[in-house]
Structure 1
Amino acid sequence: MAGGVSSMNLVVNMASESDVSVQGHGVHTAYLELATALERRDDVDVVRGRYGERVDCDVYHLHTMGTGVWPKILDPRTRTVVSAHVVPDSLVGSLRGARWWRPLARRYMQWFYRRADRVLAVSGTVAHALETELRVDPGRIEVLHNTIDMAAYRTSPEDRGAARLELGFDDDAFVVLGVGQVQPRKRVDLFDRLAREHPGMTFVWVGGIPFKHLAADHGAMRRLMERAPENLRFTDVLPHPEVRRYLQAADVFCLPAEQENHPMCILEAAGVGLPVVARDIPEYDDTFGHDVLRCRDATFGEALVHLREEPLTYRAWQERSRRIADRFDSAAAAERLVGIYREVAAAASSAG
């Protein structure tokens, strides 16, 4: 089967080393969502994982680039698709000392991505970095945004009430939710400052420091969590179903991160129907556009106040989140992805 298209279903080995390592991040969620969407189809068989070894399949699809997937990326028999979730800029403010070893990481990413037959950029900004900084052949790059099964996130008033009761939020609390690793790049310090400036609101950050002492500014981030004001709750890393409960219980989603590619947490918040307040960064230009309320440091607080005090404004931004949900549902992404698999597998067959 390797090196050619199966006469029956296409067999894809989809792998993310987050299966066997740290899972409290968006790459793992993106991998799970896409694998699950493909498994619902009747024209493709998905083999998950199998690290440190080659797999008899038509196509490898890799989401991470560690040593566990080297046997796959180096397998000359089988074509490889790689999802580019990370570019060099993603490391700064995420891992300890990244500014110093970024050049080495850039060279490694260049080697890894250039070995793939197709590289799937999660945003236009990532595609630009792949082509200009990492020198990947533009003919091998496609933009395929992260997606989720939006039906799994639809939230009724009954769901919301049950989630708030379970998590201990008062009926009249205005809950501002953030999700992600506690790291400088996410600007959790600004989230903390917003909580201090708006004591009448309830702030919750779902996430922790899964990479522990390898994380950037680990000590400072740990102190920030320990010294949080009374109206700010940190949950640490949670299983994904529990993250969804917090989304269902919230009123607004707030992500002040300074660098993102195509964050899963915004898709999840949109699926629940929350207005999304996020930093005004160019990475969102070709993905969320003006369907998220884009802010600077000085305007996040004002945006939250408007959403709390102006029901018409709140409903308008809920409607914009519904547009995001319509655009980024996983069923359409799976359909397109199967077409990509068939293209690269067919190319291998003709070359052989």
Structure 2
Amino acid sequence: MTSNKKSKITINMMSSADKIAGQGVGSAYRELIRLLRTYNSETLDLTINKIFAKADITHYHTVDFLFYLQSFLSKKHIGRRIGYVHFLPETLDGSIMLPLPLFWIFKAYVKSFYRRMDQLVVVNPDFKQKLIDIGMEPERVSYIPNFVAKEQFYEIPIDEKPVIRKKYNIPDNRFLVVGTGQIQYRKGIDDFVALAKRNPDITFLWAGGFSFGRITGNYKHYKELVNNHPQNCIFTGIVSRDEIRSLCNIADLFLLPSYDELFPMSILEAASCGAPIMLRDLDLYHNILSEKYIPCQDIEEMDAQLKKVSKDRSLLKHFKEMSKDVAATYSEESLTKIWEDFYKEQAELVKY
């Protein structure tokens, strides 16, 4: 092994997440790089996308084919292979649109990529079993949650909020529901728009777009939905993270009606901005968020809860405090040592 107790652990980060705007994978990747460079620079030495860099650990954030080929290099060269699991093969269903044989090949490739890793990191403990089912031994799967930086996602002063609302022509007293993420079926976009139709006295704003363009599943349908939305529904398209922060700050309620997720960065971003959160009550949220959000089983419950809290906003005070608890739990302070300890442990396992 190239490192010892006195030297830094060398980590080669491999990622193409920044090439596609508006997806959570890129946000999670950038947050981790910033965290390690800010708090762990004395113990960890990072390189980015160096195919032939010698390292104690090579950490794969995306499943690029070039990275797959790199994983076959000598362990003396690339060290311990770590795979960051931001999605599972089944979460691709309905998200991207490829010819069926090509889609099957891609899903098989993702499984093969994960099996190549010496260790996988999942952002939700519930997904350990799914990886075990595709051939990973339990001890080769670690859980480390997502997090967001307080310096980027935080509550802004009250006097700044009217300026942001004015930019989107939203009156100060108008109840605003905000959702963020890619426009695709699994995000529950159809329900988001249907709720807007049912509640014309509430403004619904979705920040996000078609990160994968025309290969987005059912692209024509969602393009039509965006182009012909209800008058009280706003689609911003893909925006910067600074704009996401602004929009989460002016939200009376953050709504993510997704059918399938791992651990959305969007939830942590909204929580860090103090927005009360409403979610489709997926089992995977129970461990990571406890009861710190408004749970809804379907669109009927979402509609009923929206009507209730929009008429009595005091009901949201409790969930605003719960969002602050979520932000504290998944803060950069709480994750700094977890990542450092993980890398130290992995570096000790490198054998030549």
TM-score by length of 2: 0.92
Aligned residue number for residue 11 of structure 2: 12
- CA offset digits 1:140-192 (Å, max 9, x no partner): 11111111113432213234334324443211111111111111111111111
Check if 1:279 corresponds to 2:280.
yes
- State the Cα RMSD in Å: 1.9
Aligned residue number for residue 115 of structure 2: 114
Change beyond 3 A, Cα 1:82–1:243:
same
Aligned residue number for residue 47 of structure 1: 46
Change beyond 3 A, Cα 1:179–1:16:
same
The DSSP-based 3-state class of the residue aligned with 1:135 is coil
Aligned residue number for residue 154 of structure 2: 154
- State which drifts further: 144-153 or 192-201: 144-153
Check if 1:224 corresponds to 2:225.
yes
Letter in structure 1 aligned against 2:290 = G
Change beyond 3 A, Cα 1:46–1:215:
farther
- Matches of 1:105 and 1:37 in 2, distance apart? 32
- Matches of 2:152 and 2:127 in 1, distance apart? 27
Residue 8 of structure 1 and its aligned partner are, at CA, apart by: 2.3
- CA offset digits 1:93-146 (Å, max 9, x no partner): 2111587656434432232112212111110222121112x1111111111111
- Matches of 1:264 and 1:248 in 2, distance apart? 16
Aligned residue number for residue 346 of structure 1: 348
Runs of 5+ unmatched residues, structure 2? none
- CA offset digits 1:238-280 (Å, max 9, x no partner): 1221222211222110011100110000000000011111101
The DSSP-based 3-state class of the residue aligned with 2:287 is coil
Letter in structure 1 aligned against 2:35 = A
- Matches of 1:173 and 1:311 in 2, distance apart? 11
The 5 A counterparts of 1:199-218 are: 199-218=200-219
The 5 A counterparts of 1:77-226 are: 77=76, 78-97=79-98, 103-132=104-133, 134-155=134-155, 156-226=157-227
The DSSP-based 3-state class of the residue aligned with 1:178 is strand
Check if 1:303 corresponds to 2:305.
yes
Change beyond 3 A, Cα 1:98–1:37:
farther
2:154, 2:245 within 8 Å by CA — same for their partners in 1?
A: no
1:163, 1:248 within 8 Å by CA — same for their partners in 2?
A: no
Change beyond 3 A, Cα 1:190–1:55:
same
- Matches of 2:204 and 2:47 in 1, distance apart? 37
Residue 44 of structure 1 and its aligned partner are, at CA, apart by: 3.8
Number of aligned residues: 345
Letter in structure 1 aligned against 2:20 = V
Aligned residue number for residue 294 of structure 2: 293
Letter in structure 1 aligned against 2:36 = L
Change beyond 3 A, Cα 1:88–1:102:
farther
Change beyond 3 A, Cα 1:101–1:200:
same
Runs of 5+ unmatched residues, structure 1? none
1:65, 1:112 within 8 Å by CA — same for their partners in 2?
A: yes
Aligned residue number for residue 337 of structure 1: 339
- Matches of 2:126 and 2:99 in 1, distance apart? 20
Aligned residue number for residue 324 of structure 1: 326
Residue 74 of structure 1 and its aligned partner are, at CA, apart by: 2.4
The DSSP-based 3-state class of the residue aligned with 1:334 is helix
- Matches of 1:168 and 1:179 in 2, distance apart? 19
The DSSP-based 3-state class of the residue aligned with 1:37 is helix
Letter in structure 1 aligned against 2:11 = V
Q: In percent, how many aligned pairs have the same letter?
A: 25
- State which drifts further: 231-240 or 164-173: 164-173
- Matches of 1:226 and 1:100 in 2, distance apart? 31
- Matches of 1:188 and 1:209 in 2, distance apart? 12
The DSSP-based 3-state class of the residue aligned with 1:136 is coil
1:178, 1:204 within 8 Å by CA — same for their partners in 2?
A: yes
- Matches of 1:163 and 1:341 in 2, distance apart? 41
State which of 51, 61, 64 in structure 1 corresponds to 2:62: 64
The DSSP-based 3-state class of the residue aligned with 2:178 is strand
Change beyond 3 A, Cα 1:172–1:80:
same
Letter in structure 2 aligned against 1:245 = S
Change beyond 3 A, Cα 1:169–1:46:
farther
Aligned residue number for residue 269 of structure 1: 270
Letter in structure 2 aligned against 1:89 = E
1:61, 1:82 within 8 Å by CA — same for their partners in 2?
A: yes
2:58, 2:82 within 8 Å by CA — same for their partners in 1?
A: yes
Change beyond 3 A, Cα 1:287–1:101:
farther
Aligned residue number for residue 27 of structure 2: 29
Change beyond 3 A, Cα 1:4–1:159:
farther
Change beyond 3 A, Cα 1:46–1:93:
farther
